[in-house]
Amino acid sequence: MEERPVLAIHTGAGTWKNIDDINQIISIIKDSLNAGYEEYKSGNCLDIVTSSIEVMENSNLLNAGLGSTLDFLGNITMDAGLINGDSMKSGAVAAVSYPKNPIKLARFVLENTPHLILAGQYADELAKKINMEKHPGPSKRSKDLWKKLKEKAEDRFIIERIKAAKQIGYDTVGAVAIDKDNCLSSGVSTGGVSLKLPGRVGDSPIFGAGFYANKKIAVAATGIGEVIIMSLLSYKISEYYQVNEDLIKSMSSSIEEINKDFGKDTVGIIGIDYKGVVSGIFNTEAMPWGYIRSDGKIFIKGLPW
């Protein structure tokens, strides 16, 4: 029997020029894939996605969880979302500061509430009430980056913030998986855009934008959140797939539309389908991503060289 991919993850689309040691990224990708693979052995699709994203949130290097970037005022606000493709039940959180692992709070919303998204202080209060581990606050690395970018912003905040964000080279983290019962799932987590205006929410908690899954396909996006929301990128891929049942063609067609409507250096996508096809496509300089097969073998792609 041919081994098939069971989990793919990405660490964000961008330039990745400012990363001192790409080996750190490779190590995080491997750790994330292995964590998800352990859940694949006995868990379900949500277990796989949640565990793999939790590793990336805990890395303190990626823009999610402990490594989240800061808004213009120097605060952390995070977004996350995930979906069970079989039930089409989704859960997400937006602009949260309390949980160390926003993906776990998003899963709680999915499994224990009738809602799709909880946001801000009330989502934080829920995280505290259910005894989730508290975020320790901005890392030194995030603080240093914030100071550097804010110095560049000066009075031309919006223009310089956008330019600076494109230079950073890492963004939303995401995962897509299929379990032994062929349930597909997708999930994403992010600290958002560096120097974002306080209160800004990106694509990560938006069903059909930053993430989407059904019984045939699961996709997770990364890049400029406003572009991903306006294009409904993840759902658009599923629409193409409904017609052609070709994952790579569907993802490529969506990227071509993005290039035409919004330009390059904007987005990246990973996807997996019920037939066992996996792919990662991006219009940026790099998008480190990888996948693990049912035999435990890991493949890493999209590195910045």
| Catalytically annotated residues | 172
Per the structure block, which two tokens stand in for 220?
A: 């997770």
The Cα diameter of the chain in Å comes to: 61
* Of 69, 73, 129, the residue nearest 99 (C-alpha): 129
Sequence-distant (6+) residues with CB within 8 A of 207 are 81, 83, 90, 92, 116
**What is the spatial distance between Cα 172 and Cα 12, in angstroms, rounded to a whole number?**
5
| 3-state SS assignment for residue 176 | strand
**What is the spatial distance between Cα 125 and Cα 56, in angstroms, rounded to a whole number?**
24
Bridge-partner residues for 61, per DSSP?
A: none
**What is the spatial distance between Cα 43 and Cα 50, in angstroms, rounded to a whole number?**
11
Number of Cβ atoms within 10 Å of the Cβ of 115:
11
